Structure 1
Amino acid sequence: MPNKLCALLIDHDGTLVNSEPAQFEIWQNILAEYQIDYTFEDFIPRIGIPGNITAEYLVELYKLPIAADKLAIVKEQQTDLYLQNKAFPLMQGILEIIHWAKAQGLKLAVVSGAERASVLRSLQHHNLSELIDCVVAGGDTEKNKPDPMPYLTALQRLNLTAEQAVALEDSAGGIQSAVGAGLCCLAIKHTFTSVTKLQQATEIFESHADILARLKLSCAQVN
């Protein structure tokens, strides 16, 4: 943990919002059009991977008669339709982390492989837009997670070094991105996620409440 914590960099899908079930449903419906029986077990390894990369993977795996970039556009359109009248629910305990961080004077960023429109809709719907200092979403950088570039970009925009911030993640690709950027990474474990997938993280937690307790303890020790 940093000696002087200045910022939290928070992943979107599965860390800020509980979007994984809906993301799976969207992909499942798209692939059903090609007579593909896509299961949640098939989806799990794709969690935390940007949509355009998943589209390339699915086109190759199932030999789909559609270009990967076009499939990625279909996914983005279907996600937009899903979100027109609702938003992904917040993860339990994340609001408490955000409010604690702002009370401490920390900067907040959302660093995600998800489409920017999806991230911004989540922030707007849950009245978080004014609390977030920076958003780096899918397509904002030349390379996406698991490459470190999204987190490095967020640090640059916040004018901070990796030693001043902590990343909150829930997937192997996201953790690899954060650790590759030199960040301390606190990972949340989901019921469907194997701990072995999270082993690159600095620490692994069962809940957001546990992460908040760790952050509070770290700050108390420094002060």
Structure 2
Amino acid sequence: MTAMDEWAVLFDLDGTLVDTAPIWRSAFVALIDARQPVPAGATDGLLGLTALEAITTIHRRLGWSGLDPVEDVAEVEAAVRQRYRDGATSWHTEGLHLIAALQADSAPVGLVTSSSRYVLDALLIHSAAPRFDVVVCGNDVKRTKPAPDPYLLAARRLGLPPARCAVVEDSPTGLASAVAAGCPVVLIGGHGQPGAVPVASLGRLTVTALRQLVSPAIHQASGDAARQPTES
């Protein structure tokens, strides 16, 4: 692969490559249940948020004052990390196959998540975990998804423009982040979302389909190079 043909794929983690939502929800419910009965909807809409953002939302919804959200984050993250270490979830087979196919095609693969490094490491130590060329966690940037910072940082670490980094996401928050960064996006299970190519499931994605997403940027780079003046 020449420099003009270089491209990459950046994957979201939660919900895209691993079904982590039930584990996080269980940890949030346990935190609430230790203090009061769990009201309906207390943990709704937290997918895609950092742990601190989710805990802050819970505090606001339940009217908790005088409590330190940072301490609650530590408790929840420790519970989630332990569940990961216990093997309570696993990497989606379709995702593992796609990543292996991309790497066989010499395409760099990155992971971009709002989870902290502390929590993520418990997933990456498992033997089934894929190898990533770059990993960006929530505590690597000042602004997390939906801000563009995580995907911009991943592209910069790979040495590629965002337009040549295809993104695989599953949430509106992640989609907004990738679009703002200038990355072409596939949205798993998405329908009619502006800025994204909808795909019913991860298993429907192929290396060819992802490469086609970044083809305009590759062709543009090749054209720009061809138009460069030569030395006389």
TM range (shorter): 0.7 to 0.9
CA RMSD of aligned residues (A): 2.5
Q: Distance in 2 between matches of 1:188 and 1:111?
A: 15
The match for 2:123 is 122
Q: Distance in 1 between matches of 2:207 and 2:105?
A: 14
The match for 1:205 is 199
Q: Distance in 1 between matches of 2:211 and 2:176?
A: 25
Contact kept, 8 Å, 1:4 with 1:164, in 2: the verdict is no
Contact kept, 8 Å, 2:187 with 2:197, in 1: the verdict is yes
TM-score (norm: length of structure 1):
0.85
Are 1:98 and 2:99 matched, yes or no?
Answer: yes
The match for 1:86 is 87
1:102 deviates by 0.2
Contact kept, 8 Å, 1:14 with 1:91, in 2: the verdict is no
**Count of residues paired in the alignment:** 212
Contact kept, 8 Å, 1:5 with 1:166, in 2: the verdict is no
How has the CA–CA distance of structure 1 residues 21 and 114 changed in structure 2, closer, same or farther, with 3 Å as cutoff? same
Q: Distance in 1 between matches of 2:206 and 2:37?
A: 41
Contact kept, 8 Å, 1:179 with 1:201, in 2: the verdict is yes
Q: Which moved more, 1:85-94 or 1:177-186?
A: 85-94
Amino acid at match of 1:204: P
* Structure 1 stretches of 4+ moved >4 Å: none
How has the CA–CA distance of structure 1 residues 59 and 102 changed in structure 2, closer, same or farther, with 3 Å as cutoff? same
Aligned-pair identity (%): 22
SS in structure 1 at match of 2:15? coil
Contact kept, 8 Å, 2:136 with 2:150, in 1: the verdict is yes
The match for 1:192 is none
SS in structure 1 at match of 2:185? strand
Contact kept, 8 Å, 1:176 with 1:200, in 2: the verdict is no
Q: Distance in 1 between matches of 2:91 and 2:204?
A: 16
Q: Highest Rg: 1 or 2?
A: 2
Q: Distance in 2 between matches of 1:212 and 1:42?
A: 38
How has the CA–CA distance of structure 1 residues 15 and 5 changed in structure 2, closer, same or farther, with 3 Å as cutoff? farther
SS in structure 2 at match of 1:139? helix
* Ranges in structure 2 where 5+ consecutive residues have no aligned partner: 220-232
How has the CA–CA distance of structure 1 residues 37 and 8 changed in structure 2, closer, same or farther, with 3 Å as cutoff? same
Contact kept, 8 Å, 1:9 with 1:168, in 2: the verdict is yes
The match for 1:181 is 181
Contact kept, 8 Å, 1:166 with 1:185, in 2: the verdict is yes
Q: Distance in 2 between matches of 1:109 and 1:25?
A: 28
TM-score (norm: length of structure 2):
0.81
How has the CA–CA distance of structure 1 residues 57 and 81 changed in structure 2, closer, same or farther, with 3 Å as cutoff? same
